[in-house]
Structure 1
Amino acid sequence: MGAPQRDPVAVGEGLVSRAVQIPTPPFRAVLADATTPRTVWSAPGEATVVGSDAAATLTANGPDRFRRIRDRAEALFETGDVHAGTEAACPRLFGGFAFHDDGAERPPWTDFPGARFVFPRVQVTYADNGTWLTVNAVGPDATPEAVETRLEEERERLANLPDPGPVGDPPGVTDRTRTTDLDDWCTGVNAAVDRIRSGELQKVVLAQALECSLEERLSIPDILARLAEKYPDCHRFLVEPASGDASFFGATPERLVTRHGRTVETGALAGTTGRGETPAEDEWLAEELMDSEKNVHEHELVADAIRDQLAPFAASMSTGERTVRRLATVQHLWTPITAELARDEHVLDLVEALHPTPAVGGLPPEKALDTIRDTEPFDRGWYAAPVGWIDAAGNGSFAVALRSAVSTGDVATLFAGVGVVADSDPDREWDEVQLKYRPILDELEN
Structure 2
Amino acid sequence: MGLTLPVELFEQAKRTMDSQKEQVLLSWVSELTDMTAKQLFDQAETFKGERFFWQNKERSLRLAGFGVMDQLRMEPGGDRFSALHTRKEQVLRRTVTNSEESACGAVYFGGFRFDAQSDVAPEWESFGQGLFYLPLFLVTEKEGHRYLSVNIWLSADDGYDKVEAVMAQWERICDTTPSSDATPDCILEERLAEDAWLAAATDVVALLQDTEHLQKVVLARRMRLGFDGFLSSSRIIANMEAQQGNSYCFVLENGTRTFFGATPERLVLADETRMESACVAGSIGRGTTDAEDEALGATLLNDAKNLAEHHFVVEMIEETMARFCEDVEVSANPELLKNRDIQHLYMTVAGNRGSAKLLDVVRALHPTPALGGWPQEDAMTVIRLKEAMDRGLYGAPIGWIDAKDRGEFVVAIRSALTIDTDALLYAGCGIVADSVPVDELAETAMKFQPMLRVLGGKVHERS
- The TM-score with structure 2 as length reference comes to 0.88
Deviation at 1:221, TM superposition (A): 0.6
In structure 2, how many angstroms separate the alpha carbons of the residues matched to 1:147 and 1:124?
21
Deviates more, 1:141-150 or 1:23-32: 141-150
Q: 2:88 aligns with which of 51, 73, 78?
A: 73
2:29 pairs with 1:15: no
2:188 pairs with 1:172: no
Q: 1:444 to 1:172 in 2, by over 3 A?
A: farther
Tell me the residue number matched to 1:57: 71
Q: Given residue 48 of structure 1, which amino acid in structure 2 is its aligned partner?
A: R
In structure 2, how many angstroms separate the alpha carbons of the residues matched to 1:291 and 1:202?
20
Q: Given residue 27 of structure 2, which amino acid in structure 1 is its aligned partner?
A: S
Tell me the residue number matched to 1:185: 197
For the aligned residues, what is the CA RMSD?
2.2
2:57 pairs with 1:44: yes
In structure 1, how many angstroms separate the alpha carbons of the residues matched to 2:110 and 2:118?
14
Give the match's secondary structure for 1:109. helix
Gap regions ≥5 residues in structure 1: 1-10
The answer on whether the counterparts of 2:247 and 2:264 sit within 8 Å (CA) in structure 1 is yes
The answer on whether the counterparts of 1:16 and 1:144 sit within 8 Å (CA) in structure 2 is no
In structure 1, how many angstroms separate the alpha carbons of the residues matched to 2:383 and 2:325?
30
In structure 2, how many angstroms separate the alpha carbons of the residues matched to 1:141 and 1:212?
50
Give the match's secondary structure for 1:54. strand
Deviation at 1:364, TM superposition (A): 1.1
Q: Given residue 178 of structure 1, which amino acid in structure 2 is its aligned partner?
A: R
Counterparts of 1:57-136 in structure 2, within 5 Å, are 57-61=71-75, 62=77, 64-84=79-99, 86-102=101-117, 104-136=119-151
In structure 2, how many angstroms separate the alpha carbons of the residues matched to 1:101 and 1:159?
40
Deviation at 1:285, TM superposition (A): 0.2
Q: Given residue 65 of structure 1, which amino acid in structure 2 is its aligned partner?
A: R
In structure 2, how many angstroms separate the alpha carbons of the residues matched to 1:12 and 1:419?
50
Give the match's secondary structure for 1:286. helix
Per-residue Cα deviation, 1:318-373 (whole angstroms, up to 9, x for no partner): 111310111100110001111112x3122111100100011100111111111111
In structure 1, how many angstroms separate the alpha carbons of the residues matched to 2:139 and 2:214?
46
Deviation at 1:105, TM superposition (A): 2.6
Q: Given residue 123 of structure 1, which amino acid in structure 2 is its aligned partner?
A: L
Deviation at 1:237, TM superposition (A): 1.0
Q: 2:177 aligns with which of 158, 162, 167?
A: 162
Which 4+ residue blocks in structure 1 deviate beyond 6 angstroms?
141-144
Count of aligned pairs between the two proteins: 430
Rg larger for: 2
The answer on whether the counterparts of 1:29 and 1:161 sit within 8 Å (CA) in structure 2 is no
The answer on whether the counterparts of 1:207 and 1:416 sit within 8 Å (CA) in structure 2 is yes
The answer on whether the counterparts of 2:49 and 2:256 sit within 8 Å (CA) in structure 1 is no
Q: Given residue 281 of structure 1, which amino acid in structure 2 is its aligned partner?
A: E
Per-residue Cα deviation, 1:63-92 (whole angstroms, up to 9, x for no partner): 511112211211111121012474443320
Give the match's secondary structure for 1:55. strand
Gap regions ≥5 residues in structure 2: 1-20, 458-463
Deviates more, 1:36-45 or 1:78-87: 78-87
In structure 2, how many angstroms separate the alpha carbons of the residues matched to 1:131 and 1:141?
32
2:284 pairs with 1:270: no
Tell me the residue number matched to 2:4: none
Q: 1:146 to 1:334 in 2, by over 3 A?
A: farther
The sequence identity of aligned pairs, in percent, is 31
Tell me the residue number matched to 2:336: 324
Q: Given residue 187 of structure 1, which amino acid in structure 2 is its aligned partner?
A: A
Deviation at 1:143, TM superposition (A): 6.2
Q: 1:16 to 1:387 in 2, by over 3 A?
A: same
The answer on whether the counterparts of 1:102 and 1:114 sit within 8 Å (CA) in structure 2 is no
Tell me the residue number matched to 2:382: 371
Deviation at 1:247, TM superposition (A): 0.6
Deviation at 1:141, TM superposition (A): 7.0
Tell me the residue number matched to 1:5: none
Deviation at 1:135, TM superposition (A): 1.1
Q: 1:29 to 1:268 in 2, by over 3 A?
A: same
In structure 1, how many angstroms separate the alpha carbons of the residues matched to 2:147 and 2:276?
26
The answer on whether the counterparts of 2:110 and 2:132 sit within 8 Å (CA) in structure 1 is yes
The answer on whether the counterparts of 1:17 and 1:147 sit within 8 Å (CA) in structure 2 is no
2:310 pairs with 1:299: yes
Give the match's secondary structure for 2:370. coil
Q: 1:31 to 1:226 in 2, by over 3 A?
A: farther
Tell me the residue number matched to 1:347: 358
Q: Given residue 237 of structure 1, which amino acid in structure 2 is its aligned partner?
A: F
